[in-house]
Structure 1
Amino acid sequence: MEIGYVNGKYVSLDEAVIPIDERGHQFGDGVYEVIRFYNGKPFMLVEHVERLINSSKAIRLPIEQSVEDFNQLILQAVEKSELKDCNVYIQITRGIATRLHLFPNVPVSITMTVREAKPPKPEMRDNGVKAIILDDERWANCYIKSLNLLPNILAKQTADEAGCYEAILNRDGVVTEGTSSNAYIIKEGKIFTAPLTKQILPGITRMAVKRIAEKLNIDFVEEPFTTDLLLSADEVFVTSTTSEIMPIVKIDDNSIGNGVPGPVTKRLYEQFQLEIAAL
């Protein structure tokens, strides 16, 4: 069953549990992670938790839990849910206190949900999906997986209203990432993606793709590329925990490559599936 967790207590998902003075609710003052479980086993759990702790430190959340503490909490929640294929959403905020901008001297709040995974339809991956290009209007520290996602939401909604799966963002013509994904192009058999800076999230699936590319002897090049290069790429794909590896076959009014998922993207996804099967 799908369940929730709030500061040491398991709750049903329709139970009212968040106080009005919760700083995540009032300020978006917190960080989060989403972890995918396949057949009861987590994919790259340690990497997700390490990123959660790094994001917490970056916004000066006074957390006491270790990687192992969070691992145990997440595994316990999934076991309690009895779900095999699920997404765990875990969120840490600066706690519950009267609304003031300064940090309060209160314990942090940890909440979590375990919900059944709803992966993209197979035909989306088989046929590829569409994207649009939008300006990146987010803040400067996108490497922090914070709760402040309003620019992402607006861009994602714009993409959806245009009949697209994702919006690929750019700053002054240089591609950063998607609204909820990392973005890649393939040119002459090489994978190109933006380097890790404060302007992009260090994706966990990005980490997996880099490892898979090395295993398959495919060059993985971390350097900036423009929207012009994006549109002239042989292949384009995006990655995230929930999308896994998703081929993009049309951007705005431009077909990518032959307008179908390309061979390199397919090889990456096939190897990704093998790694999941080996969990």
Structure 2
Amino acid sequence: MATTLKTCILNGQLIPLSQATISLANIEYSYGFGVYESVMVLRGKPIFAQEHCERLLESASAIELQHPFSTETMHAWLHTLIEQISQERYNCKMLLIGAKEAGNAQLAILPLNPRFPEKKLYTYGAPVITYAYQRTIPNAKTLNMLGSYLAYREAQKQNCYEALLQDTEGNLREGTRTNFFVVSGGTILSPPNEKILEGITRKHILDIAAKEGIPVRYTDIPVQTLGEYDSAFLSSSTGKIMPVRKIGDIEYTEIPETTRRLMELYDALLKKQSPENRNA
């Protein structure tokens, strides 16, 4: 069994990660005609794998990417790769690259070390920026990532955790790799589903909110209204629920009980999903 992340799957075959290459002449890849998902693996178990596999297929369908792969195939290949790795926590990136013919599509599964947020951010909140960019097909997680790359690069230049994407109407939709929420008087507000990529973590947060009786409202969140809310937070597979301390010049001085409760309950959900050992 490998102890480092040096093996991957390419169309069902285990190969060294160094050999997982693609030609510079591949037009589909160059133009971003592909979709991807990142699955967290904890102690040998892929977390919410079924949902990630289903969303990968939904993204492919949204851009009319034809391929021969099923969720069952993805599950089998994912587990084949996981069996080769003893590292306790890492991510598996599933990368589906389209082709002119469905039979030539490529599915790669790559193990990667995630960049975990600093622990202090969960206590004090993370600073973020806003960036004017609107994804072309919001419900698909595609390889067309230039806008998000530039936005995140700008956030890094300003020593910020994330960049929130602002649409042409001045509304904040999502982060480059996160979903976005604000809290007002105990009610959670989130952008409408049709305008964003519905994150797997976001879906579980909203399920928790429903079970706990926490009101949720789906609505546009204009940049100019940020000062009217009690707080804000982000969600992602790696970052879980990340409270926001500052958005540009708007600062949130406290993390309200609603957000803290969601953080506790989501952590508890992840703990249930993760086996105590690899044989669990």
Same fold (TM over 0.5): yes
Q: Which of 155, 158, 165 in structure 2 is aligned with 1:159?
A: 155
Change (3 A) 1:170 1:116: closer
Question: Within the alignment, does 1:173 sit opposite 2:170 as a pair?
Answer: yes
Distance 2:264 2:219 in 1: 25
For residue 236 of structure 1, what is the aligned residue in structure 2? Answer: 232
Q: How does 1:82-93 map to 2 (within 5 A)?
A: 82-93=86-97
Q: How does 1:123-272 map to 2 (within 5 A)?
A: 123-139=120-136, 141-171=137-167, 172-197=169-194, 199-256=195-252, 259-272=253-266
Tell me if structure 2 keeps the 8 A contact 1:23–1:94. Answer: no
Tell me if structure 1 keeps the 8 A contact 2:10–2:20. Answer: no
Q: Which moved more, 1:31-40 or 1:150-159?
A: 31-40
Q: CA deviation at 1:24?
A: 4.8
Q: CA deviation at 1:159?
A: 1.1
For residue 274 of structure 1, what is the aligned residue in structure 2? Answer: 268
Distance 1:151 1:78 in 2: 32
- Helix, strand or coil: the match of 1:156? helix
For residue 30 of structure 1, what is the aligned residue in structure 2? Answer: 34
For residue 277 of structure 2, what is the aligned residue in structure 1? Answer: none
- Helix, strand or coil: the match of 2:259? helix
Change (3 A) 1:116 1:138: closer
Tell me if structure 2 keeps the 8 A contact 1:83–1:116. Answer: no
Tell me if structure 2 keeps the 8 A contact 1:48–1:204. Answer: yes
Distance 1:174 1:118 in 2: 28
Structure 2 unaligned segments of length 5 or more: list them: 274-280
Structure 1 unaligned segments of length 5 or more: list them: 96-102
For residue 276 of structure 2, what is the aligned residue in structure 1? Answer: none
Q: CA deviation at 1:117?
A: 3.9
Distance 1:65 1:104 in 2: 13
| TM-score normalised to structure 1 length | 0.90
Question: Within the alignment, does 1:11 sit opposite 2:9 as a pair?
Answer: no
1:135-194 Cα offsets, whole Å, 9 max, x none, are 12432x111110000000101111111121111122222221111111000000010001
Number of residues of Structure 1 aligned to a counterpart in Structure 2: 268
Q: Give RMSD over aligned pairs.
A: 1.7
For residue 66 of structure 1, what is the aligned residue in structure 2? Answer: 70
Percent identity over paired residues = 28
| Aligned residue type for 1:249 | R
Tell me if structure 2 keeps the 8 A contact 1:209–1:268. Answer: yes
| Aligned residue type for 1:229 | T
